[in-house]
Every structure is written in C-alpha cells, then in structure tokens.
Amino acid sequence: MKSVSAFLLAFLVSVTAANLITDAGHRKLEESSRCTSKTLNFDQFSAGDLITNEKLKQEFKSLEISVKPDGRCASGSLARIFDTENPTCEDDDLKTSGEGMAAIIQDKGDCAPNDCRFGGEMIFSWSSKVTLNSIRLLDLDQSVAIKLFSGDTNVATINTPKLGDGQHQTFTIGKSDITKMVLVHSGSGAVAEVDYTTCGPGANGDPHFHTWTGHKFDYHGQCDLVFMKAPSFEGRGLEIHVRTEQRYFFSFIKTVAMKIGDDLLEFGFDQVLLNGSPAHEGLASGSSFDFAGYPVSFHDEPMPNGRPRKLYRVHTPHDTVDIKVFKQLMAIEIEDASHVNFIDSVGITGDYNSGLMLGRDGVTVLSDPSDFGPEWQVTSDDPSLFSSVQAPQFPEKCWEAAAIDKVRHLRNGVSQVQAEEACAILGENADIEDCVFDIMATGDIEMVGAHL
C-alpha cells in the first residue's frame, strides 16, 4: 500500500518531523506510553510485615511474591519486611542509609525480623509478561542465582558474585518476556528493589496500534481487522475485531466487537449491542451489565479537559478490556493481560509469545504496517462479529489511505504549535507525536480527547 507510506511521509515532512521517517516511508516503531515502568521497593509495608499478595496487589496487581526457605530457616511461604535503616536482632549487615524496607527470608530464631543465614528461594511471579530491568540485592556475603522464566521455560540464569559481608549492589538484567524470577540464596541477604516494565496492547486515534511489546505503528486502511484472537482466554476463547473507516484525510476505529465463548458484544458510537440486542439503554454512569458471565462497567464522567467520553470496561478475573468512545472515535486497550489468558494470542496487536508482527502463518515477520495491516483483515476463516456490513468485505481488499495530493489540506487552519499546546495536557509520558498528528490530520483541536 504505497499511498499510505507516501501519505505519512508528506505529512511528517510538512510538520518538520522528518526524523521519524524510515527508509520505507512510514513512522518508526517506538515504545508506547502503554508501557509502564514499575519499581517495587516495599515502602508500602512496615518492618516485620509479612508480604501478603492481597496488600501487594493494591499497587502491583499482576505480581505475587513467595518464599521456599531452607529447612533450617523459619517455615512458611511469605517473605518478611526488614527495615534497613533501623535494623533489628543486631543484624547490622543489612543496615543501610536510603534503602528503606527490604524483603527477607525469616530466620528460625525467636527474634524477628531477621534474615536467615541458610537462605532459600524467593519467588517473584507475574501474571503477565514483563521486561525485567534491574534488581538490587543487599548483604551479598554469598552468591545468589537469579533464575528467569518465561512461562515454564528457564530462559536465563545469572549468578551474582560473592561481594562480602554487608555488601549491596544493583544488577542490570534487561530481559523481556519474563513471567517468573527465582532468587536462590545460599546464605543471608535481602531484596531492596525490583524494577520492571509492563506493556499492554491497544489502538486509538487515527488509528495508532500498540503491540504486546509496546511498539506502535499506524495503519490507515479501511476494513474489518482482527485486533486479536486468544483461543485459551478463560478456557472459552476471545476474539476482538475492529472496524476502521476513512473520512476526508484521516481514519479511525468506528466499531469494536468482541466474542467470549458464544456471547457477542459490539460497541459503537451511539449504541452497545449484547447478542444483537441494545445493552446501553437506561445505563447510568457507574452502573454495569453482564456479558458472558463477566461485569461490564460504564462511566461517562468528563475527561480532564472537560470533554465528554464514554468508558466501558469488561472485567474478567485476570484482566480488563477498556473501550473508550470520544466523538466518533473509539479506542481499545487490554490492561493487566495475564499470561495464562493470552499465551496464544495473535492478531494486529502482534504475536504474544514472540512479540513480533507476525503474519497469519505464524512465521513471516511483516514489519511494514502497509503489509501487516491487510494481513489481519477479517476473512471468511474468521467469525462474523459485526451486526452490520460495511465495505470493503473480504475477498475485497482493505481500502488504501487518501492520495498524497490531498495532504496539503491536512492542517485545516491548525498550526503545529497549536496542536502541541493542546496535547501538552497529556503529560510528558504520553504519545504527544500521535496526538499532534491526529489534530493536524483532522483539523480538530479536540482530538486530544482521543489520547486521554
């Protein structure tokens, strides 16, 4: 689809963003704002606390921590909190300044909290894949084996050096697709901090797609697309399709439809259909309805900029699917996606296991959006999720984006400075470039709402 590449190239040059152009003429894949860096430092606990997952999940929803102590240590599966600035049990090996709380395997003696000199295993389990950035270990008088797992597979083992009594160090890990980390302590010691990054797939705006690994790309063709299909989801299977539409010089997601088991739910600008019948009538903000045995909450409070928006959230025991409606545009995002539910997920959000933009054959990498988008057009092999028909339908191919000679009209009276000022409300960690792109493509300063 060469007109898409030409379209983006001309537009980006017009806003002096030529540094974002690849040799193929489309925008580079970049880390999305849907990737979130998280630092676990145990500051939400107090000295002597046992690390219960209930309290941990108030801040770190997808993480659980457990221990398997050496038989000569205190029994139990819960790690304990040690205050490194106010050491107890005369344990000055863990005394530090600025470290705060740390996690330990408890000693068998009467004094607590106190780390056990015989060690054991401390296990960090994430329900979704993460990129493990770094870990800070305290009192490395013995070596620690850091075992990293993706699912049930041990993908790496890092053996720390023996630094000496009371020595502390931060180790850079830099491994992605991790679901479990096992720390094998051969002696005493503690964990002060774990830094990791999580990403969730989604799509919004004109439209901008975000993969499982946080890469983003734009696809401006009009057709029905397989957003994702996850056969293992909740043991019943999940299919999500999005319908894109072109208007003037931009495109957007017009409708989102999803299927769990035998139940269908379709979201449009002015209606929600549950198994073909209206589900939105009489819904008040804060209320919910049932879909496939799961609650779907509804909220329509104004956004931070005061503009109206509808938010639907499908809650499952492990994950949530968010659908946002702003003007005629729709956005979709998967939050806290669990490894067990999405282990076999494929679609235009990428392959969950490899993180790559794979074709339907599960092998071919299609890094150019103009190839990858049409690859995931809904075909006769996919279920029919939408209640109405919109052209094009397979075997007719997706419609290409607007021709390059129309790009000169993109600004529509809105300058780049005005667009940047409007998008500043999103904050420094947002996709400001996507927001500016959308405002200048549509000539609508309120398009910032599609990114809130």
Sign of the alpha-carbon torsion through 437, 438, 441, 447: negative
Residues 287, 249: one domain?
Answer: yes
Distance between CA atoms of residues 173 and 236, nearest Å: 36
Residues 209, 138: one domain?
Answer: no
Residues 194, 241: one domain?
Answer: no
**Which residue do the tokens 């607590």 mark?**
112
SS3 424: helix
Residues 20, 79: one domain?
Answer: no
Residues 231, 334: one domain?
Answer: yes
CA angle 329, 334, 335 (to 5 degrees): 125
Question: What tokens were used for 239?
Answer: 């299919």
Of 198, 229, 245, the domain-final residue? 198
pLDDT of residue 273: 97
Question: What tokens were used for 376?
Answer: 């995931």
pLDDT of residue 26: 29
Residues 290, 436: one domain?
Answer: yes
Residues 7, 62: one domain?
Answer: no
Query: 97 lies in which domain range?
Result: 37-198
Residues 212, 169: one domain?
Answer: no
Give the DSSP H/E element, type plus range, for residue 284: none
Of 198, 219, 250, the domain-final residue? 198
For every one of its 452 residues, what pLDDT tens digit does the chain have, with 9 covering 90 and above? 333 333 333 333 233 222 222 222 223 334 445 688 999 999 999 999 999 999 998 889 899 999 999 999 999 999 999 999 999 998 888 888 788 999 999 999 889 999 999 999 999 999 999 999 999 999 988 999 999 999 999 999 999 998 887 889 999 999 999 999 999 999 999 999 999 999 989 998 888 899 998 898 999 899 999 999 999 999 999 999 999 999 877 789 999 999 999 999 999 988 999 999 999 888 899 999 999 999 999 998 776 667 778 999 999 988 999 999 987 789 999 988 999 999 999 999 999 999 999 999 999 999 999 999 999 999 999 999 999 999 999 999 999 876 544 443 444 566 777 777 777 766 655 666 767 777 776 666 666 666 65
pLDDT of residue 402: 67
The pTM (predicted TM-score) of the whole model is: 0.79
Q: Find out whether 81 and 46 touch, Cβ atoms under 8 Å.
A: yes
In the DSSP assignment, the letter for residue 105 is P
Total of domains in the chain: 2
Distance between CA atoms of residues 235 and 67, nearest Å: 29
Distance between CA atoms of residues 282 and 237, nearest Å: 30
Question: What tokens were used for 45?
Answer: 């606990």
Residues 173, 250: one domain?
Answer: no
Pairing outcome for strands 208-210 and 216-218: antiparallel
Distance between CA atoms of residues 8 and 432, nearest Å: 16
Q: Find out whether 85 and 155 touch, Cβ atoms under 8 Å.
A: no
Strand partners, 135: 171, 194
Distances (CA, A) of 105 to 68, 83, 188, 217, 411: 8, 13, 8, 45, 61
Residues 190, 222: one domain?
Answer: no
Distance between CA atoms of residues 176 and 126, nearest Å: 12
Of 160, 181, 198, the domain-final residue? 198
